[in-house]
Structure 1
Amino acid sequence: MELEIALNARKDNAMKNAMKVGFVGLGSMGRGMVANLQKAGYQLVVNDLSQAAAVDAIAAGAMWAETPREVAEDADLVFTSLPMPADVQAVSAGTDGLIAGLSEGKVWVDTSTNDLDVIRELHGILVQKKVYLLDAPIGGSPHNTVRGDIIFWVGGEERAFQLAKPALDAISENALFVGECGSGTITKLVQNMFSLALLSVQIECLSMGVKAGVDMLPLWKALRQGRLGQMRTFDLISAGFLPNKLDPAKFFLKLAEKDARLALQIGRSNRVPMKLCSAVHQDMLEALNRGWEMRDAQSFLELQMERSGLPPSFLTQEEVDAVKEST
């Protein structure tokens, strides 16, 4: 048994030494993923708009590439982690783009929360080059990335998923294959739209209770002990909205709005009525028009309190944590 474990470990190390991983986009999510890949023993070549973003990765042994194309040419497996669909298009196109550098048999894993149409367009182009594309958006925060417990929802060819899985596992062991290319993007947008709509409904109902005369803290505590609350649904607002910790942002409102917009776009494309989700998106747009782009994703919930003639929630983090610890 010990010999088998040793042989498997040797085989795993040999594969890591043989495979070079490319990474484009070392922002708040990308840096943690790169660090975990390096800890696992992978050789990396990296690129970002700013070389300063890659200082830690380079210090840990990563090679710097001047363009996305150089990353694609030098690596067997390429990851991208970028904030907007337009950013993915920018690094993929042109003579210095990823597409120009990718060759037959290579795998591109896009971990960005992307536009489904962009993913499908890129897939169509890469199929002609016999290059695999996996759309693998992430569930989790930068803290989850560092801890290695983010979730990947992965769409694409299953053979490509198996090729990329050892590297995905080095980042997090929660990589779930959900279907053909585009399926990962759809799954992520469903998840984010559901979360945003659920947050909005919670605040609408809480504002009703507070306006009718129940203080926020006992109301929230009581709801947490009900059937729905026991599923910890109401804990979604415990770190941001309730203690009014919306600045600095854990996740920017402008990015949350982008996710909602892309989800509604899928609904429209498939003639799916989404009345509640559309109303949530309208609130997010109103918040953006107030200049709240860089505030936390939960900041738009303050609009419901304002419409109800109520101040923003003013509970302390200690009060919120005490309720969570007691129930």
Structure 2
Amino acid sequence: MKIGFIGLGVMGSRMVKRLIEAGYHVTVFNRTAAKAAPLEKLGALRTDSIADLSKDVDVICSCLSMPSDCLDVYLGKEGVIENASQGAICLDFSTVGVETSRQIATQAHEKGIQYLDAPVSGGPEGAEQGSLTIMVGGEKSSFESVLPVLRKIGRTIEYLGPTGSGSIAKLINQYLVAVHSIAASEAMVAGAAFGLKSEQLYNILKVSYGESRILRRHMEQYVLDRQFDPGGALKYVHKDIALANPLFNKAGITEYLGMFAEKSFSSAIEQGLGDLDMSSVILPLEKECRVTVKRSDN
């Protein structure tokens, strides 16, 4: 089985590495060609266009940043749908809106191409270890055909139903990521404002009912050590919560925490924090309350 992979960012590059190590022949494309160099050394083939990549592979994977990127890659004149062979299966690991997934799937189907929305969760470490959670929507027969590929990069792999189902599940997950990020930030800033030692408060919370995976991630890897190099950039969480919120409205929920979370992430971007890690959403709160959440020796 020949695989094409479009998008070699922090997630895509790690997924490609695992596929090569599993013995797959992988052709890659990235707008910044230099990002392909380490993968070429491992055995990947690099192509200069999406059109060329799409013509000669059985499975076309993508891991892109924004919905607009996906629309360009799949629906552009030199994109996947216009150039892939009939019977090819597309695996889009990007986090996009439901309508984006359905739009691409509809045009793919008209060309005899299968499209699966298959967003992932688990971060760079999950991609590195092959332990990603993969949420898949689309034709079940196509899912079953590519399941061996998915098992090389994911540990929890769930087929959820028709096109868009994977995107819905991922956006619900990202909704929780955004809301938990705000709640954890508020809790830690409030503790500091009342004179509690941040590290001590965190040690209490992480073994109590207030514990969450986001609290642990943000405090242990970023906030307490004042290190905000991005594992997952703040601007992408803002994109995700903005896509997720309409789902909650469509579900019939009229007031929901995601509205405040979206506003908080938007404000952080306006303050120049968009390219920092998502945990940096705590910084405007610290500034507002004139405190710093950090280890005692920092």
Do both share a fold (TM > 0.5)?
yes
**Pairwise CA distance, 1:214:** 2.7
Alpha-carbon distance change, 232 to 136 in structure 1, aligned in 2, over 3 angstroms: closer
Matched with 1:211 is: 193
**What is the letter of the counterpart of residue 43 of structure 1?**
H
The corresponding residue for 1:34 is 16
Could you tell me which of 240, 251, 258 is aligned with 1:277? 258
Task: Identify the residue that residue 233 of structure 2 maps to in structure 1.
Answer: 252
- 1:149-298 to 2 correspondence within 5 Å? 149-229=131-211, 234-238=215-219, 239-246=221-228, 248-298=229-279
Aligned-pair CA distance for 1:116? 1.6
User: Which position in structure 2 is the counterpart of 1:132?
Assistant: 114
The runs of 5 or more residues in structure 1 that have no matched partner are 1-18, 320-327
Secondary structure at the aligned position of 1:240 is classed as helix
The 1:232–1:42 alpha-carbon spacing in structure 2 relative to 1, beyond 3 Å, is: closer
1:44 aligns with 2:65: no
Asked if structure 1 preserves the Cα contact closer than 8 Å seen for 2:25 and 2:44, the reply is yes
1:129-185: per-residue Cα shift (whole Å, max 9, x none)?
Answer: 222111111112223212211211111111111111111112233322122111111
2:295 pairs with 1:315? yes
Deviations 1:215-242 (A, max 9, x none): 322222222232343x666413322223
Deviation at 1:105, TM superposition (A): 1.7
Instruction: Compare relative contact order (CA 8 Å, sep 6+) and give the higher one, 1 or 2.
Output: 2
Letter matched to residue 237 of structure 2: A
Please give the alpha-carbon distance, in whole angstroms, between the structure 2 residues aligned to 1:139 and 1:163: 21
Shift of 1:77: 0.6
**Secondary structure at the counterpart of residue 113 of structure 1:** coil
Which portions of structure 1, spanning 4 or more consecutive aligned residues, are displaced by more than 4 angstroms? Answer: none
- 1:185–1:274 CA distance, 2 compared to 1 (3 A): farther
Which runs of 5 or more structure 2 residues have no equivalent in the other structure?
none
Structure 2 CA distance for aligned equivalents of residues 314 and 92 of structure 1: 44
**Structure 2 equivalent of residue 72 of structure 1:** 54
Do 1:45 and 1:74's aligned partners in 2 also have CA atoms closer than 8 Å? no
Q: Is the 8 A contact 2:50 2:73 kept in 1?
A: yes
How far residue 128 of structure 1 moved from its aligned partner, in angstroms, is 1.5
CA distance in 1, matches of 2:14, 2:290: 39
AA of the residue aligned to 2:290: L
What letter is aligned with 1:259? D
SS class of match (1:170): coil
The answer as to whether partners of 1:25 and 1:47 remain within 8 angstroms in 2 is yes
2:287 aligned partner: 306
Q: SS of the residue aligned with 2:222?
A: coil
C-alpha distance in structure 2 between counterparts of 1:249 and 1:233, whole Å? 14
Rounded Cα–Cα distance in structure 2 between residues aligned with 1:176 and 1:79: 17
CA distance in 1, matches of 2:75, 2:196: 56
How many matched pairs? 297
Q: State whether structure 2 residue 107 is matched by structure 1 residue 122.
A: no
d(CA) in 1 for partners of 2:168 and 2:202? 32
Normalising by the residue count of structure 2, what TM-score does the alignment of the two structures yield?
Answer: 0.92
Which residue identity lines up with residue 59 of structure 2 in the other structure?
L
- The equivalent position to 1:87 in structure 2, one of 58, 69, 79, is 69
CA contact (8 A) 1:68 1:92 kept: no
Task: Report which stretch shifted further, 198-207 or 154-163.
Answer: 198-207
Moved more, 50-59 or 109-118: 50-59
Conservation of the 8 A alpha-carbon contact between 2:51 and 2:79: yes
In 1, the alpha carbon distance for the partners of 2:295 and 2:109 equals: 53
**Alignment partners' CA distance in 2, 1:296 and 1:110:** 24
**Matched residue of 1:273: which SS?**
coil
- Greater CA radius of gyration, 1 or 2? 1
- Whole-Å Cα distance in 2 between the matches of residues 48 and 202 of structure 1? 36
The RMSD of aligned alpha carbons is: 2.0
User: Which has the larger displacement, 298-307 or 283-292?
Assistant: 298-307
Q: Distance in 1 between matches of 2:40 and 2:184?
A: 45
